[in-house]
Structure 1
Amino acid sequence: MWEWKNIYRGILMGASDVVPGVSGGTIAVVLGIYDRLIEAINGFFSREWKKHLKFLLPLGIGVGISILMLSKLIEWLFGHYPGPTEFFFLGLIIGVVPFLSHKADVKHNFTSRHYLIFLIGVVIVGSLAFFQANESEPMQNLTLATYVFLFFSGWIASSAMILPGISGSFILLIIGVYTTVIHGISELRIDIIAVVGLGVALGLIFMSKIINYFLEHHTSGTFALIIGFVIGSVFVIFPGLPESNLMWFVSGVTFIAGLLAAWLLGRVEYS
C-alpha cells in the first residue's frame, strides 16, 4: 500500500532541510519514521524495492514540494525574524527528546558506556556552533571543477541530513556553497539541481547502509549517539538571548509553539 501520508511528512522534512542548523533527520525522528526511513533507503536496491518505493516516493514528493515552495518562506522568516524562528525550531528539537528517550528505553537500556557515547554526540554537534560560516555570492560561470565540487558538497551534506542533529544546510554553509544551491533551486537551475541532487542521492544511500548496520547491531549505542546529536544541535541553533521585552515575549511564544508542535506530532505519529 502506498503511504501517501508521507507527503506531509516530507513537506516538514524538506522545510527543515533548507534551514542551516536544523536537520531533516531530526524531523524524521519527531515524526517517528527515522528507523523506517533508514531501512527504506538501505533496502531500495533489494528484492523488496517495491515496498520501499511506496514509502520513499511519497516522502520524496513532499520533500521536493517543500524545497521548491517553502524555501523562499523559510528564507524570509530567517531574514526578517531570525530569533523567533530559531526559537521555534529549538522548541521542536527539545520537544523530541522525550520521544527519543522513550523509544530507546533509556532507563533500562543505557549503561555508563551509552552515556559516554551520548556526551560524545553532544560535543561533536555542539562544536559546530564555533564554526564561522561566511557565505559569498552565488557562484557564476560554473566549470567542470565547480560541478565536481558541488557534487561532493551534496554528498557530504546528505550524510549530515540523514543524521539527527546535524544540518545538511549548515554543512553547505561551512563549505561555502549554500547560497549557490539555494539560488539554483529558487531560479530552477537544472544543472545545479541535478549535480547536487545526484551527490545527495548517492550520499544518502551510502550513509543509510552505515546507520542501518549500527541500528541493527548496536541499537542502544546508536540511539545514545542520536540523542547526543539532537541535544548538541541546540547549541548550534541557539540565536542568543532576545534584546527587548517584545522579542522575549515573541520568542517565548514561538519556543512554546515548537514544543507543542513536537508534542502534537508525537501524539499523532506514536499513538
Structure 2
Amino acid sequence: MKLMFKGFLIGAFMLIPGVSGGTMAMIFGIYEKLLSCISSFSSHKKENFLFLVRFMMGSGASFLLLSRPMSILVNRFPSETSFFAAGAVIGGVPTVWQAAGDIRISPKSLFFLFLGILSAALFALLPPDLIRGEESGLLRFPIHLLAGILGALALVLPGISFSSMLCILGVYGFVLSAIGNRQFLLLLPFGAGVLAGIFFFTRLLEKALKNYPQQTHLVILGFVMASLWDIFRAASFMSTGLSFVFCLLLSASGFLLARFMTCD
C-alpha cells in the first residue's frame, strides 16, 4: 500500500508544471528500484512485475482522478501549488545527497554538481512548441511517437519536468485533454513512444549509476537543485501579506511530506 501511495503522490506531483517525476521518485526512495525493474526486467520477472504493477496502479489512478482538478488548481492557484511542490523538492535534497555516498567537497565533485545545474538550466531555456502536437491524419502518429520518446527522458531523468517537456514539445494540452476526456485510443502513439523511450533511457542511466555512481548522483543532485527554478517560474510572485504566509505554510507542508515519505 505504501508503494501504491508513493506512486499516487508521484503521479500527482507530475501534473504540476516544473515538477519532475524522477525527482519525486528519488525523494521517495524508489528511483533506483524503478530503474532496475525496467532495465533488468527479465532477471526477476515476477518480483519486478509486481513492483511495477503496484507503482503504476498508484500513479495511473492519480492521472485518472487528478488530471482535470489538478489542471484547474494549477491555473487558479499557481503560487500555492508551486510553493508546495518546491517545499517537497527541498525536503528531498538530503535523500539525494545521501544516495551519492561519502562526498568530499572538491573541484571534481563541484564540477559534476554544476554540470547537472547547467544542463537543467539550458533545458529550461528551450522555447515551447518545438514540435507541433495538433497535426491530424497520418502525420499525428510519428509526431506523437517522437513526443513520447522525448517525454520518456523527462520521466527517467530527475530534475526534468514531464509536464514542462510536454509543453516544450507542444503536446501538453492534447495529452491532458485526452486523459481527462478518457480518449485513450488517441494516446496510443504517444504511449508507445513513452514505453520505448523508458526502456532505452533506463538502461543508459542504470549503467551510468553502476559504473560512475557518485558522479552520476552529483549530476542528478544538480538537476534536482536546478528544478526549483523551473517550479517557481510557473508561480505568480504577486502574493503578499496573508497569501504569502499561506504559501510558506504550504511549502513547509510539502517539505514535511517529503521527509515523512523518505522514512521507512
Give the TM-score, by structure 2 length.
Answer: 0.92
- Tell me the equivalent position of 2:107: 112
Q: 1:98 aligns with which of 82, 89, 94?
A: 94
Question: Residue deviations 1:180-203, cap 9 Å, x none?
Answer: 111111111122222211111111
Letter in 1 for 2:8: I
- Stretch moving more, 72-81 or 85-94: 72-81
> CA shift at 1:163, angstroms?
1.0
Deviation for aligned residue 1:132:
4.5
Q: Which amino acid aligns with 1:205?
A: F
The letter for the 2-side match of 1:89 is: A
Q: Which residue in 2 is equivalent to 1:230?
A: 224
Q: Map of 1:16-27 to 2, 5 A cutoff? A: 16-27=13-24
2:155 paired residue among 161, 165, 168: 161
**Which deviations, in whole Å up to 9, do the C-alpha atoms of 1:113-148 show, x marking residues without a partner?**
22201101111112344345369x9837x2111121
Give the number of equivalent residue pairs: 262
Deviation at 1:245, TM superposition (A): 1.1
1:149 Cα deviation after fit: 0.4
Task: Identify the residue that residue 250 of structure 1 maps to in structure 2.
Answer: 246
Question: Corresponding residue for 2:173?
Answer: 179
Q: What's the RMSD between the two structures over aligned residues?
A: 2.1
Work out the CA distance in 1 between the residues paired with 2:167 and 2:49: 31
What secondary structure sits across from 1:170 in the alignment? Answer: helix
Q: Deviations over 1:160-185 (max 9, x none)?
A: 11111101221110111100111111
Stretches of structure 1 that go unaligned for 5 or more consecutive residues are none
Question: How many angstroms apart in 1 are the aligned matches of 2:43 and 2:256?
Answer: 40
- Return the alpha-carbon distance in structure 2 between the equivalents of residues 182 and 161 of structure 1: 16
Residues 18 and 163 of structure 2 are in contact (CA less than 8 Å); yes or no, is this contact kept in structure 1? yes
1:77-130 CA distance string (max 9 Å, x none): 10111101101111111111111112213534x642222011011111123443
CA contact (8 A) 1:120 1:228 kept: yes
Rounded to whole Å, the distance in 2 between the matches of 1:86 and 1:209 is 32
Question: Displacement, 1:20?
Answer: 2.1
- The answer to whether structure 1 residue 28 and structure 2 residue 25 are counterparts is yes
1:146 equivalent in alignment to 2:140: yes
Match of 1:218 in 2: 212
For residue 199 of structure 2, the aligned residue among 195, 205, 214 is: 205
In structure 2, the gaps of 5 or more residues are: none
Separation in structure 2 between the aligned mates of residue 255 and residue 5 of structure 1, nearest angstrom: 23
Q: Conserved in 2, the CA contact under 8 Å of 1:17 and 1:161?
A: no
1:64 matched residue in structure 2: 60
Give the letter aligned to residue 56 of structure 2.
G
- Asked if 2 retains the 8 angstrom alpha-carbon contact of 1:100 and 1:227, the reply is yes
Q: What's the offset of the Cα at 1:41?
A: 0.6
Check 1:70–1:143 CA distance in 2 against 1; reply closer, same or farther (3 A cut): same
Residue 14 and residue 120 in structure 1: after superposition, are their counterparts in 2 closer, same or farther (change >3 A)? same
Match of residue 262, structure 2, among 256, 262, 266: 266
CA distance in 2, matches of 1:251, 1:106: 35
The letter of the residue matching 1:167 is S
How high is the TM-score relative to the length of structure 1? 0.90
Conservation of the 8 A alpha-carbon contact between 1:31 and 1:266: yes
What amino acid does structure 2 have at the position aligned with 1:18?
L
1:124 to 119, 126, 140: 119
AA at the equivalent of 2:147: S
